[in-house]
Amino acid sequence: MDIVVRQASVFDLDALIPLFDGYRRFYRQPSEPDRIRRFLLDRFEYNQSVIFIAKNGAEAVGFTQLYPSFSTGALARIFVLNDLFVERAARRTGAGVALLGAAAEYARGVGASRLTLSTELTNAPARALYEKLGWTRNTEFCTYQLAL
């Protein structure tokens, strides 16, 4: 496969929807293409995230999405790599590596001090990929959530 990664735009919406749907189904969420469309349109319209799309020729095979944030401790801009997904048939082709590389390059280019991400403890393939690429698991802080 010849994987090409680039920053996505609203013109990629139709290609992104099935990828986002696959990502959500991986995390046991229902298939909701109409809600995904609205969600992505809002991200593009309000410039609230940066999405990279991986393509093999004309076929979209993966994406990653970054949300901007800040670190008071570091007094710096950071990005939360909230989503990374590669279609099953395109896994182990370099698409995930290319998407993570594009995310890191973008973040460095805009002066961010770090990328952060979370994944399920049971997602061993993703964890292995992150660690292979130099990501380190945080062992100093606990993460908590409050459902609203």
pLDDT value at position 143?
87
Give the count of domains, the chain: 1
| Domain annotation covers residue 31 | yes
pLDDT value at position 47?
97
**70, 78 in Cβ contact below 8 A?**
yes
Q: What proportion of the chain, given as a percentage, has pLDDT over 90? A: 93
Buried b (16+ CB within 10 A) or exposed e, 78-109: bbbbebbbbbeebeebbbbbbbbebbbebbee
CATH code assigned at 28: 3.40.630.30
pLDDT value at position 3?
96
Flag whether pLDDT at 1 surpasses 70.
no
| Domain annotation covers residue 92 | yes
Q: What is the pLDDT of residues 58-92, one digit of tens each?
A: 999 999 999 999 999 999 999 999 999 999 999 99
Q: Find the domain containing 67 and state its range.
A: 3-132
